[in-house]
Amino acid sequence: MTFDLVIRNADVATASERWQGDIGITAGRIAALGIALPAGRQEIDAGGRLVTPGGVDAHCHLDQPTSDGSKMADDFLTGTRSAACGGTTTVIPFACQMKGQSLVDAVADYHHRAEGKAAVDYAFHLIVSDPTPAVLRDELPRLVAEGCTSVKLYMTYDDMKLDDRQILDLLAAARREGVFTMIHAENADCIAWLADALVGAGLTAPRYHAHARPMLVEREATHRAIALAELADVPVLIVHVSGREAVAQIREAQGLGLKIYAETCPQYLFLTEDDLGGEGFEGAKCICSPPPRDKANQQAIWNGLDNGTFQVLSSDHAPFSMGPDGKAVAGADAPFTQVPNGIPGLETRLPLVMTHGVLAGRIDIHTFVALTSTNPARLYGLFPRKGTIAVGADADLVVWDTDLDRTVRNADLHHAVDYTPYEGQAIRAWPRITLCRGRAVWREGQYLGEAGFGRFLPCDRPQPAAVRGRGHRGPLWTA
Ligand code: DUC
Ligand code: ZN
Ligand code: ZN
């Protein structure tokens, strides 16, 4: 047998295994794993370097329509280019229903936006902002059959939020259809009340964004989301968890045997509310929701990654540049309430967490792979095609350099955003090579991808019960 490509001398790490040897690739899939495999038409000598599955970024926003006149800086071309250069080979952005819009139409529009542009593979989550009977009864089953098997719902944002009754309706439909639900948990009325008071007092700079969204509003909504999921008897995942009080709610629910899953993001590990700045507009670079907290909350998130509370670590890449199309859509002196929420992070997610998580000894390599690739693939119905290194899986692989001495610089990144909130942060690891379905899309500092190479991945029914905590310390669930 001759392989198309053989990766030799790899130090392979998956969510559960570590071994040294070769990976044989044919027709974009892993055809063999072993020692001294036969020759390939092409060969890459990994030279003993670490090789992990390509990253699955299960929470990112690309070319998503907005309702405030802003425009996301990244479309499927620049977003997936940036993903490839940072070792991510599958992205799952959101087909977003505007209130009054058909969900089927929102998905058709999103396919159109992605068509011919993606450099790595992609699937879609749904955002349901208008759960009418027709949407839940007719459109959702049709979209599930077409491979959209997960939904996100919002408890905040005026143009997106659902009330508790609507949430229950959506959760019941999700249960019926086998759809997995992600929940943005912040209390909308508390935020509006605080924001009105702050703006009324003239406290409008970006840093007051954090004052309008204290941990309490996330804690309350997380508690309520868990209660609603328990009532509807359906698994849910709480997205972008920012700190200790929300972690405690989730941990308690998991301890009671409820099927509650959790995601966090690099901004809650590497930024604090101090990054929202002083009185100037610069701090708008770090306006995202929930906001970054403090060092003690960062530690609570690291603990939750290590002890199995979190199953997923995503970027929540929401790319707005600093100009009038983006953060300054309402002017560079606009109050924080009118600044688009979100920060870029697709490309830096894996290198930052490899550096400050794995290489710094905070999490082990298997936890890293599970959080950034295997678990999201399982949860969202893409496993075993994605998320692992196994015979038959897509040859999505990252060959790592792990002895670098660099800092993050926006000038080196490949997104279309004019800043990174991680500018100047230390980096010791970066992908040397990223392969998507056996094709090098990034190699030794060169982007080699091609618009349109990335394929839409219809998702199977999600497999949340297959994603467990780490056994010895994490929670265990049965189906
Ligand atoms: N918060 C979200 O809920 N979505 C996108 C970006 C953000 O900050
Ligand atoms: Zn959100
Ligand atoms: Zn988001």
Q: Return the domain boundaries, the chain.
A: 55-377+458-466
Q: What is the pLDDT of residues 99-152, one digit of tens each?
A: 999 999 999 999 999 999 999 999 999 999 999 999 999 999 999 999 999 999
Q: Whose CA is nearest to atom 1 of ligand 1?
A: 289
320 contact partners, CB below 8 Å, separation of at least 6: 70, 72, 73, 326, 327, 340, 342, 417
Question: Which atom of ligand 1 is closest in space to residue 157's alpha carbon?
Answer: 3
Task: Report the pLDDT averaged over residues 322-346.
Answer: 98
Q: What percent of the chain has pLDDT over 70?
A: 97
Q: Whose CA is nearest to atom 3 of ligand 1?
A: 289
Q: What is the pLDDT of residues 189-214, one digit of tens each?
A: 999 999 999 999 999 999 999 999 99
The CATH H-level (homologous superfamily) assignment of domain 55-377+458-466 is Metal-dependent hydrolases (3.20.20.140)
pLDDT band at 283 (very low <50, low <70, confident <90, very high): very high
Residue 409 CA to residue 319 CA, distance in Å, equals 16
How far apart, in Å, are the Cα atoms of 84 and each of 122, 387, 442, 470?
12, 15, 6, 28
pLDDT band at 339 (very low <50, low <70, confident <90, very high): very high
Give the model's pLDDT for residue 201.
98
In this predicted structure, the answer to whether residue 478 has a pLDDT above a threshold of 50 is no
Question: Which atom of ligand 1 is closest in space to residue 239's alpha carbon?
Answer: 3
| Ligand index nearest the alpha carbon of residue 213 | 1
Whole-structure pTM value? 0.97
342 lines ligand 1 (CB under 6 A): yes
Q: Whose CA is nearest to atom 4 of ligand 1?
A: 342
Q: Whose CA is nearest to atom 7 of ligand 1?
A: 342
288 lines ligand 1 (CB under 6 A): yes
Average pLDDT, the chain: 96
- Ligand 3: centre distance to CA 474 (Å): 25
pLDDT band at 463 (very low <50, low <70, confident <90, very high): confident
Helix 215-232 vs helix 244-255: crossing angle, to nearest 10: 20
pLDDT band at 464 (very low <50, low <70, confident <90, very high): confident
Tokens 């897509």 — which residue?
394
- Ligand 1: centre distance to CA 72 (Å): 12
Give the model's pLDDT for residue 467.
84
Which residues make up the environment of ion ligand 2, defined by Cβ < 5 Å?
184
Task: Report the pLDDT averaged over residues 394-409.
Answer: 98
Q: For the chain, how are helix, strand and coil distributed in percent, rounded to 5?
A: 35, 20, 45
